[in-house]
A and B are shown apart, each in its own frame.
Chain A
Amino acid sequence: MLPFRWIYLNRELMSLAITAGVSLLLFFNNDTPEMRGAQAIIADVNKIISSPQRVYFDLLAVRRENEVLAESVTRLQLLNSKLLRYQYEHDRLRSMLNLVEDSPVNLLPASVINQQLSASVRSITINVGSEQGVVVDQAIMDINGLLGKTIAVGVGASRVQLITDINYLVSVRVGDQRHLGIYKYSDTTRGEVENIPRSADVEEGDLVVTSGISEIYPPDIPLARVISTSRSADSPFQKIIVELLADITDLNYVFVLSQ
């Protein structure tokens, strides 16, 4: 039988073989610079396509957000006066100890272009890119906590890898004694902090923050809150389950962090 005839007779299987082959090729080469470049271009295209929809949703959200923000501003103003007093005390104590001032973190606001094309969201596209000074490997957070980092930057849009990605690891500190551990996502809105010794004093409700060891994440960005801890006799580490602070299920506005 001629090969062309064989291909024609088995065209259904051949279609599957071609598409499956291309898919697997992408799957096993998804970390190459070429793929990251393609993702940045897709992010730019995505921004253009979804802009009318974005305007519509923005209009819907503005009134409700305005009410929430007005309430929030009032509360924060009350809190601010208290913090100003602490700041004064803090500055005075730091100068007494001759400590070097931390570099401040700048926040660049951005809105999420799309996130709903799949039930399990592991990346989003935001509407800021190299034009706004965004670069690859910048931390992203919402008003509650760390969300992820930029992985591909286009001219006016960027792709963000979320902390819900299974391969996402962050060096963190947890508890009053700021034990060093590694955050790893597990499922829905939960994750696990690994490498915390059994003897470490970590309690339910403790805050998990970025350690600052990595160059990507500034220190002390809130990430999660401890919801349970357990120790087993055969492991030198305790199992710490945490709940993410960032609202992964309803992302609208985020901030790009730069030091």
Chain B
Amino acid sequence: MRGSIIWLVLGIIVAVAIQSALPRITVSGIPFTPDLLLVFLALAGVRKGRIFAVFTGFSLGILQDLTTQVNLLGLYAFIKSLSGYALGTIFQYREYWNRTVRLLAVMVCFLIHFGIYAFVTLYGSEVQIIDFLRLIFIPALLNWILYIILEKLFFDLKVG
């Protein structure tokens, strides 16, 4: 347990340090910053289970909230706690789900994460199909690809 907490704290520090130094890239005219904290949460969640993922998600979310939000303070903490719970579910089913299903489940969690954020921020305004692509699908897809690369790099495909 103590080892897990040390890894969690170290992981958060490294993720935050890299995230704050990441450049903003533009994909087909759409500005995009990888959400390394979400990717870190996914990597931790599918290996450590729900409780660990929920508290990790909450810690990362509150950190994001306190540094980047004003009127929506608490939103990232809420979404990342929820995403942590969903990602931790993948750990529960690691014996039954093959790698493809687990990766698809991670993608669904990412879609939920960006979907809730987009819903709250766009609530009450005119929304077009392109907004769904720009705010939900493309960030989820790009972060998912990053997740697969990092998973391959650090864990050599041995999920769970």
Interface residues of A (CB under 8 A from B): 11-12, 15-16, 19-20, 22-28, 30-31, 35, 38-39, 42, 46, 50, 53, 114-123, 125, 151, 159, 161, 165-167, 186-188, 249-250
Contacts and interface: CB of A to CB of B under 8 A. Distances in A.
A13 to B, nearest CB: 8
A39 B67 CA distance: 8
A35 B77 CA distance: 15
A116 B21 contact: yes
Contacts of B63: 117
B68 A118 contact: yes
Contacts of B85: 12, 15-16
Interface string B8-49: 000000001101111010000011111101000000000001
Contacts, number: 133
A186 B55 CA distance: 33
Interface in B61-81: 61-78, 81
| Size bin of chain B's contact surface | 35 or more
For the complex, would chain B's binding face be called helix, strand, loop or mixed by DSSP majority?
helix
Contacts of B21: 53, 116
Given A20-B81, A116-B22, A27 B74 contact: yes
A120 B118 CA distance: 10
5 contacts: A15-B51, A39-B70, A117-B16, A118-B69, A167-B70
Contacts of A22: 58, 74, 77
A151 B75 CA distance: 18
